[in-house]
Structures are given as structure tokens and as C-alpha cells.
Amino acid sequence: MPPVAKKEKIFHAQINAFLDMMLAERNAAPNTRAAYARDLTDAAGFLAKKKIDLVDAGEEDLRGYLRHVSKNAARTQARRLSALRQFFRFLCSEKLRDEDPTRSIDAPKLGRVLPKYLSEKEVMRLLDTVAKYPGNDGLRLRAMLELLYAAGLRVTELVSLPTSAIQFDRDMVLVRGKGGKERMVPLGEFAIKATREWMEVRKKWLDKRVSPFLFPSPTGKPAPITRQRFFQLLKELALAAKLDPKRLSPHVIRHAFATHLIEHGADLRSVQTMLGHADIATTQIYTHVAGERLARTVAEHHPLAKKGAA
């Protein structure tokens, strides 16, 4: 029996009910729901080998599972524990458990990980390179990259943009983010220009097909270009721009957008709004990024910061 089929047998009613609740009551994004599904399936599979149903698992059973995944990165371990906490709290609220077996389990300590980003020169090199790409595919990739950097979009937000999201009369883009929350983000002239040029050829590129998406799939399906395909295109662009493709991803461009805004004096609340962060604490990480970069600049260039300065 294939591994997927085995996992599906583990997927009992309580897990499905929990996932349905995440979707209906918390308006969880499909990717978030899928992540919970993977984590809970993994835990259920591990416990099933020990003849233990996840719903009936005790604290020591869960500690055993977490020891099993301790080889993974701390953030992965923390995410797995978080999924289990949410699941057992749901069971308690539904009177399917009397107590939460995760309540005494501590999450692994996470060091502060600063987001990876590109310098302004590196972003400009990408944009200059993609501007030389020929044909309609080049216009599409240029528009996608310009929008990504101009508005700090998540990759799912970018690929799922409908054509109606671009408001040319106001130089704005309407973004539907996590949990279905909408936000308006202003666009600069280069992003507007690149999007206009793509829109002019998009209809011909579709070749009589109809699609609501700004960046439709080239396969003929009524769907947007996939996130995976955009990842691939960015990696290819990095190579063409003589940048390390391992350093480039859509989220790295999003980080660059936020970091560059902070470095140029943008206030944190505005950046929070444009990124679509629910909590400003999430946005504050970019002040650390900018601060550390400034500290390096002082250390490298200030005469009194150099070792042996008199």
C-alpha cells in the first residue's frame, strides 16, 4: 500500500473535524490547513505504529513523538507541537477530552532568526536582467517581480491576483491576504508600467482562453501560474543575473521590500499594514535587520571603530 494511502487511513473523524473548524471558524488559508493536516498526520502515523490513537494520546506518548522529530530543526519541532496544542484544545472544547496532554510540554527554544533579504543593488540587478528578457514570458516575469518588490506580496497573494486587483486609476493593488483579509498597497511607477505592458499582451497570450487571474497558467487550465513555477523562474533569473539562486525566493523579495522601506525611514505601522501582518511584533524583526546592517557599516567604515585606532 502506498504511503499516502496509509496516511489517509489514519485520518479519522476528529482530525477532519478540527481541520474543518480551522477553515470555517478561523478562516484559515488552504496552505495553513494543509500544514496542520501534514503535522497531525505525521503524529498520528507515529502513534499508530505503537497502537495508540492520537485522540487518546497522553503526555508521555506525545513527548515520545516529539523526541522522534527532535532531529528536525527547532522551528519544525515548535510547529509540530503547536499543531498538537491546537488539536487537543479543540478536543477539549468539544468535550472529547477532559484535559490537554500538551499543557506541560515546553516548546524548543528558538533563537532569533533574521530574515534573509537582498541588497538594493542586488534587487536592481534582478530587475535590470529581467527587463532584457524577450517576448511575452519576459513581460510576465518582469511584471510579477516588479509587483512582488513594489508591494511586498506573499507568493500566494501574487499568483492569485485577479486582473481587477490592479487599480490603475489610483496606482494601488488590492491584496487578499491570510484569512481572507484585504489590504490596499500603493504601487510605484515601475510596477504600474510593467503591469500595463503585461496587460496589453496578456489577452493575446491567452489565445481566446478566459481567465480571471492576472498571471494565468500557460497550460490552458482556468488557474493561475503555480507557486512552484514562479520559484523556478526566479532561480533561473538569479543565474542570469549572476546571483546565487539559493539566496533567492519570493519571500526573500518580500523581506527586501520591508527592509529597504525601514532603512529609508518608513514607519513601522505603515510597513505592517502593507505586509498584512496581524501583529506589529512580526514586523519589528525588520528593525533588527536594518539595525544590524547599520552596525556593520559603522564597524567597517568608521575610523574609530577599526581595531588599533588611536
Active site residues: 154, 178, 251, 254, 277, 286
Name every residue whose Cβ is closer than 8 Å to that of residue 172 and which is 6 or more positions away in sequence. Answer: 184, 185, 186, 187
245-to-131, 147, 241, 288 alpha-carbon distances in Å: 18, 20, 10, 25
Name every residue whose Cβ is closer than 8 Å to that of residue 105 and which is 6 or more positions away in sequence. Answer: 59, 62, 63, 66, 81
Strand, coil or helix: what is 229?
helix
- Cα separation of 215 and 198, whole Å? 9
Q: What is the dihedral of CA 271, 273, 275, 280, to 10 degrees?
A: 70
Evaluate whether 245 touches 252 at the Cβ level (below 8 Å): no
173 membership: H or E segment, kind and range? strand 172-176
Evaluate whether 80 touches 69 at the Cβ level (below 8 Å): yes
Evaluate whether 226 touches 217 at the Cβ level (below 8 Å): yes
Q: Give the cell for residue 261.
A: 522601506
Scan for cell 487550465, then name that residue. Answer: 221
- CA 90, chain centre distance (Å): 26
- Cα separation of 291 and 285, whole Å? 10
Query: Which strand ranges, in their side-by-side order, compose the sheet holding 182-186?
Result: 166-167, 172-176, 182-186
